[in-house]
Amino acid sequence: MQATIINNALNAPQRDEDLLRRAKAGDLGAFETLTTRYERQVYSLALRILRQEQDAEDVTQQTFLSALENLAGFREEAGFSTWLFRIATYAALKVIRKRKGLDTVSLEAATEPQDSYDTIPHPEFIADWRQSPELLAQQHETRQLIDEALAQLNEKYRLVFLLRDVEGMSVKETAEALGISDTNVKVRLLRARLQLREQLTRAFGDERRRLAPHRHDEV
C-alpha cells in the first residue's frame, strides 16, 4: 500500500510552478516537460491565427525559445501557460502585420470603416445541440468541423474571437493587440459568435427540435 502511494506521488503530473522553479534553476528536463505539455496548444493557437503550417511552426518555435530566454524575468503573476499563449499571440499578429506590409500596431488600414451593430445577421437555425460540448470535444470529427467554421470567418472576426473567447484577453487588451477600438472589438466578437453559432448549430443541433426564429419588433 505504502509503495502504491509513493509510486502514485512520483507519477503524479508535476505542477507548472514546480517545473518552472526547476527550469529557472537550470534543469533543462523540467523545461522540456513544460514544452511537451503546451507545445500542441501553442501550435494550434498559432495555426488558427495564421492558417498556414510553416508560419505556425515558426511562431511556435519562437515562442518556446523566447520563453526559454526570458525565464529568469518571468514574474509568474499570470500562469506559465497564459504567458506562453500571450507570447505566441503577439508573435502571430506580428506575422500578419508583416504579410500585409504594415508597420503600425493596427492590423488594418486606418481607412477601414468602423463596424456597427446595424445589419447584424439574425440567427436562423435555432435548436438545442444533441450533445454537450464536453462530449463533442472528444469526438474526432468535431475538430475538423470547428476549424472549418473558424476558417470561414472573416479574419477581422476570427482574430477577435480567438483573442477574446479562446485566449481570454480583455476587451482592452484585445483592442490594443489588434490596434482597433473597444467598440470594434465588441461588434466583431458578436458577429464572430453569431456566425460560429449558426454554423455549428447546423452541424450539432437536433433537427427534430428546431425552433422558428422569434420576431422581436415589439416586446
Partner 1 sequence: MKCDELLALLNGYVDGDMAPGLCEELEKHLAGCNPCQVVVDNIRKTITLYKEGKPCELPLDFRERLHVALHERWKQTQMNGR
Piece of 7-15, 78-86, 172-180, 182-190 that binds partner 1 (CB under 8 A): 182-190
Q: Kindly indicate which of the ranges 5-13, 42-50, 77-85, 86-94 contains the residues binding partner 1, using the contact rule CB under 8 A.
A: 42-50
Determine the 3-state secondary structure of 126 from DSSP.
Answer: strand
203 binds partner 1 (CB under 8 A): no
Binding partner 1 by CB under 8 A: which of 5, 9, 72, 109? 72
Told to check if 207 binds partner 1 by CB under 8 A, we report no
What is the C-alpha separation between 179 and 182, in angstroms, rounded?
Answer: 10
Does position 105 interact with partner 1 (CB under 8 A)? The reply is no
**Which residues make Cβ contacts (< 8 Å) with residue 195, sequence separation at least 6?**
121, 149, 152, 153, 157
Contact between residue 57 and residue 100 where contact means Cβ atoms under 8 Å apart: no
Instruction: Report the nearest approach of partner 1 to the CB of residue 123 (Å).
Output: 5
The torsion angle over the Cα atoms of residues 128, 210, 162 and 13, rounded to 10 degrees, is: 30
- Within 60-141, strands assigned E span none
Specify the residue, 105 or 211, whose C-beta has the smaller distance to partner 1. 211
Rg (CA), the chain: 21
Q: What does the alpha-carbon distance between residue 200 and residue 126 come to, in Å, rounded to a whole number?
A: 10
Per the listing, cell 517545473 goes with 19
Q: According to CB under 8 A, which one of 30, 136, 153, 169 is a site residue for partner 1? A: 136
Choose between 97 and 142: whose C-beta lies nearer to partner 1: 142
Sign for the pseudo-dihedral over CA of 74, 79, 84, 90? negative
Among 1, 3, 12, 212, binds partner 1 (CB under 8 A): 212
Least distance between partner 1 and beta carbon 105 (Å):
24
Contact residues for 106 (Cβ-Cβ < 8 A; gap 6+): 178, 179, 180
* Residue 123 sits in the site that holds partner 1 (CB under 8 A): yes
Among 7, 18, 21, 65, binds partner 1 (CB under 8 A): 65
Cα 216 from Cα 213, distance rounded (Å): 9
- The residues of the shown chain that bind partner 1, judged by CB under 8 A, are 26, 28, 31-32, 35, 39-41, 43-44, 47, 53, 57, 60-61, 64-65, 68-69, 72, 117-118, 120, 122-123, 126-129, 132-134, 136-138, 142-143, 146, 150, 161, 165-166, 186, 189-190, 193-194, 196-197, 200-201, 205, 211-217, 219
